[in-house]
Structure 1
Amino acid sequence: MARNEEKAQSMLNRFITLKNEEKKKPKERRPFLASECRDLAEADKWRQQIMREIGRKVADIQNEGLGEHRLRDLNDEINKLIREKGHWERRILELGGPNYTRHSAKMTDLDGNIVDVPNPGGRGPGYRYFGAAKKLPGVRELFEKPPEPKKRPSRWEIFRRIDASYYGYRDDEDGILEKLEGPAEEEMRAEKLREWQRLEEVKREAKRAVKSGEVAGVTPGVAEILFEGEEDVVEEERREKEKEESKKEQEFVVHVPLPDEKEIERMVLEKKKMELLKEYTSEDLLKEQLEAKALLNVQR
C-alpha cells in the first residue's frame, strides 16, 4: 500500500497528471438564461442534460425513507428543472427546432390516472409532485376526488323508472298473490252462495205464507223479508210524490192571452211597413192616410 502511495506522489506522476489536465478543455457550464444560447445544437444539448438530471432526481424521490424534508427539497428541485427545461424547449422552437412541448408528460395520481392540479398548495401554476412526494401529508388530499353530492332525481328520471310493475300489473307473475287470493276467493264465493240460498228460501216461504194467508205466523226470517218489501213500496210511493211535486213546480200558469205565431208575424210585418212609410213619405201624407182609413173604417 505504501509503495502505491509513493508512486502517486512521485514527481513524474504528478507531472503527467498536470499535463493531462492542461490538455482537457475547461468544463462548460449551462447558460443561466436560455435566450443567451444562439446555436440549436447547443440548446438541444443543454435540454438533454436537464432531462438526465430530472431522471436522476425522479429516481431518487421514489425512496420513501428519505424523510419528509428531503422529499420536499427533491420535489422542488425537479419542478425547478422542469421549468428550466420549458425555457430551453421554447428557445429551441425559436431557433427553428422541433416542438417538444406537444408531447409533454401529464400529472397522474397514486392510481396512475391523469389529473389536473393547476395550483396545489399555493406553489404556483404547474407545480407537480413525483414519487413518494405524492404521499406526504397535505399532498395526498390534492389527488383525492371529493365525493359527489347526491343529486335529487328530476321529474323525468322518476317517471322513466315507472313501468307496469309500479301499477301492479305484474303482481300475478310470481305466483305468491295467486296462492294467497285463491283460498280467500273460494271462501267468499261459498259465503255469498250460502247467503243467496238463504234469501231464496226465505222468499219462497214468504210467498207460500202470503198465498195461504198465514202471514202472522211466519218465521222471523220471512217477516224480515216482508218488512223489507213494505219498505220498498213506501220508498217507491215517496219517489212518485216527489216527481209529481217537481212537475207541478215546473208548470207555468198564463193569466193573460198570448198571441199565436200568425199574429206575431202580422205585427212584425205591420211594423216594417210603418218604418218604410216613415222613410219614404212625409208626415202630412201619413196624416191624410190615417184620416182616410178612419173614414173608411179600415183597421189595417
Structure 2
Amino acid sequence: MARNQEKANGMFNKWTSGKQDALRGSVSRSRPFHTHAAKDLNEADRWRSDVLRDVGRKVMEIQNAGLGEHKIRDLNDEINQLLKEKWQWEMRIIELGGPNYIASAPKVEDADGGAVQPPGTAGDRKAYKYFGAAKNLPGVKELFEAPVTKAVRRTRHQMNLHIDSGYYGFRDEEDGVLLKDEAEAEQQLQAAAIEQYETEQKLRELEGGGGTRKKASTVADAGRQFVAHVPLVDEADIEREVLNRKKQELLAKYVSEDLQAQEASAKTMLH
C-alpha cells in the first residue's frame, strides 16, 4: 500500500513540475514515446544521449541504501526501463543508417564496477538487472551469492560403470612397452643373480682352501675309473622268452596236469 502511495506522489510531483514549467513558458520538448517518431539520425542520437544521462543520474541515486526498500525498487525498475528504451533508440539509429552502438557497447556494470546480473544470466540482454543498494535487498542478495557446491560422493555402482578390462591390466601388453620393461628388468635380475652366485663361489673356495678342490678331483677320478659291466638282453632272447610263456599258457589251458608232469619228467630224462 505504501509503495502505491509513493508512486502516486511521484506522478503528482511530475505533473506539478510540468504545470509550473508550462506557466513559465519554459516547456521543453519531451522525449517521444515511440522511437519511430524520430525521422532524423541526429534527433535519434540526441534522445539516446538523453536516456543515458537519465540512467547515470538514477544509478548514482540508487547507491544510497537509506532511501528505503520501496524507493530503491522503484529506482531499479526505472533504470531497467531506461535501459530497454536505450536499446530501442540504438536500434532506431541503425535503421536510420547510423553507427551500431549495440555491437560496441561496453558491459553494463554498477557504479563500483560490480556485476548487475545474477550468475547464470550473463550475456542475456533481457535479463533483469540490479544496481547499487538493490543488490542488497531481501531475496536479491541471495541471487548474487555463489552457490555452495557440495561434493557428491559417488556410489560403488557409479564407480563400477567406468571400470573396464584396462583397470584389471588385461590390456597392459598391447603397446609393447610393458613387455620391453619386463625384459630389461629380467636381464638385470639375472645378471645380479649370476654375479651373486659367482661371488659366493669365490668366498667358498677361499674359505675351504685347496683341500676342497683336491677332494672334488679325487671323487671325479674315482667315478671315471669305476665301470659297471651289466649284461644286456638282445631281441632274440626276448622273442624266445615270449614264445616260452605263450607255450606254457597253451599247455596250461588244453593239457592236463598228469600229462604235463609226464612231459616234464621226459624232458628231465633227456637232459
- Asked whether the two chains share a fold, i.e. TM above 0.5, the reply is no
TM-score interval (norm. to shorter): 0.3 to 0.5
> TM-score when scaled to structure 2?
0.43
> TM-score when scaled to structure 1?
0.39
Larger RCO of the pair (alpha carbons < 8 Å, separation 6+):
2
